Amino acid sequence: KQFQTSAHRNIYTPPENFALVCGSIYRSSFPRIENFEFMLKLKLKSVLCLIPEEYPPENVEFLKQNNIKCFQVGLSGNKEPFVKIKPELVNEALKIITNPEHHPILVHCNRGKHRTGCIIGCIRKLQKWSLSMIFDEYRRFAYPKERPLDQQFIEMFDDSHIQQYAQDQNWLPLEW
C-alpha cells in the first residue's frame, strides 16, 4: 500500500497538533498520507472535516477502503473584520461529534488550530469547563497564532440548543 511510508520501520506518525479530546474524540491538523498508518491505530469510525474545500482523492480513498465515514461541515474561520464562524454550522458539527454512534471520531481542519480549536472549545463548554482552562487549551494548540476572536467566539457561543438536543438523545455527559 502506498501509504506505508514509515510503518515498515514500525514507527507511527500522527498528524501535527494531534490529541485525544475526551472519550474517543480526537483532534488534529489535516491528515496526510504519512499519517494514514497511524490513523488505522485509532480504529476510527468517522472523520469530521471542518474545511469547505473538496477532500483530496487519496484521503477519500483511504477512508473508503477502511470503512470510515466522512462528514464535512465547511467553516470559515473567525477573521477580522467580517468573517465569522456561523453558529448554526457549529451546532451541526457538534451534533456529529457528540453522537456516540460516530465514535471514535477525528475532528480536523487544516492546521488544527482555529476552526478545530473553536469546535473543541464548544465541546469543553458542554463539559462545563471554566473559560480560563478552555482558553489555556485553545492557546496551546493555536500557538503562535492565537486569535482573540476565536476565544470570544467560544465565550459567546450559545450552547443551549446543542445542550438540550444532546441531552434529549442521551449523548451527555460526554465520556471522559
Is the omega angle on the peptide bond into residue 15 within 30 degrees of 0, that is, cis? no
Binding track over 21-60 against a copy of itself, x by CB under 8 A: xx-x----------------xxx-----------------
Contact between 160 and 91 under an 8 Å Cβ cutoff? The reply is: no
Query: In the block, which residue shows the cell 485525544?
Result: 20
- The reply to whether 133 sits near a copy of itself by the rule CB under 8 A is yes
Q: How far is the CB of 10 from a copy of itself (least distance, A)?
A: 6
Contact between 60 and 70 under an 8 Å Cβ cutoff? The reply is: yes
Q: Give the angle 20-112-79 at the CA atoms, nearest 5°.
A: 140
Annotation says 122 is catalytic: no
Nearer to a copy of itself, 113 or 115 (CB): 113
Residues that bind a copy of itself in the complex, under the rule CB under 8 A? 6, 10-14, 16-22, 24, 41-43, 104, 127-130, 132-133, 136-137, 140-141, 143, 176
Catalytic machinery residues:
109
